[in-house]
Structures are given as C-alpha cells and as structure tokens.
Amino acid sequence: MTRGLKTLALRMERHCENALAIAHWLERQPKIEKVFYPGSRAIRSGTREAADGRGRRMVSAIVKGGESAALRFLERCEIFTLAESLGGVESLIEHPAIMTHASVPAEVRGEIGISDALVRLLLQRLLDFRDQVRDVLPSHRKPHERVA
C-alpha cells in the first residue's frame, strides 16, 4: 500500500489531465449537447463546480438525439467498458437513466438533471487520452465509416 501511495499524486494528475482533455474534445463535437466537467466551458461561469478539476476523472455529457443516440454512443465504444459502477481502474462508461437511476421515475430524473441522453465516462489514468478519444470518436460516426 505504501508503494502505491508514493505514485498516487502522479496517477491522479494523469487522471485529471485525461478527463479535462476529453471534456474539451467532447465540447467541440457537434453531436454533444453539453459537457459536465470542472473547467469545461459549460460550467466555467463561476459555479461552485468551476474548480480546477483536481481529483476528478469522470466526465458527463448529454448526447444530442436523446436516449437512442446515447445508447448508440455506448454501443460503439471498445476501450470503454459498459459498467453500472464506475469504481474500477479501467475506462468505464454508463447510461444513468437505464442503469444507476433506472428505478427513479423519468420526471424525477429530469428534475435532478439525469437526462435520458446523459452518459458518464470514467477515464483510465494510464491510457493516453487520445486513445480514449479514438474510442469515443466512432460513436459519432455511422458504423460503416472509418476513423482516420
């Protein structure tokens, strides 16, 4: 355990770098309506969450096109593993409306900000963020299109 603590700060820094990079990348994607991450444009406007992002490796986004578009987004990822619990060390992705918040009525989910188009990504610290972006990129393309 002590050996792991020696590199914790470096690992957390990498988590945050990856998460911020993918948040900025998602903000530029035409099929993404909104990104939720400290330091992203959507919340840089002085809210309590507009911190520097230290210690955070989860990025949430609302996919344009509703639940069906969000599900396509999930299905086309290969590096990100679909998981209800985002407590792992690998790159994970989830759809709260049908997973963690499935038992919450739709109107209540809407009131608390859980859109049917919301996806959450948990970034893996050791992968280069570009590899994680390349995994999410096909989710914005038709299945027959190739990624350069």
- How far is residue 70 from each of residues 39, 54, 65, 136, measured CA to CA in Å? 23, 27, 7, 12
Q: Is 50 exceeded by the pLDDT of residue 13?
A: yes
The token pair at 105 is 């009525």
Q: Is 70 exceeded by the pLDDT of residue 20?
A: yes
The token pair at 97 is 């409306």
Query: Which comes out higher in pLDDT, residue 82 or 139?
Result: 82
For the stretch 73-113, pLDDT in tens is 888 888 888 888 766 667 888 899 999 899 999 999 999 98
| pTM score | 0.71
User: pLDDT tier at 3 (50, 70, 90 boundaries)?
Assistant: confident
Average pLDDT along the chain: 76
Q: Is 70 exceeded by the pLDDT of residue 40?
A: no
Query: Which comes out higher in pLDDT, residue 118 or 51?
Result: 118
Which residue do the tokens 């955070």 mark? Answer: 56
Query: Which comes out higher in pLDDT, residue 55 or 86?
Result: 86
Query: Which comes out higher in pLDDT, residue 132 or 52?
Result: 132
Q: What percent of the chain has pLDDT over 90?
A: 28
Q: Is 70 exceeded by the pLDDT of residue 42?
A: no
Q: What is the Cα–Cα distance from 44 to 2, expressed in whole angstroms?
A: 36
Which residue do the tokens 């049908």 mark? Answer: 98
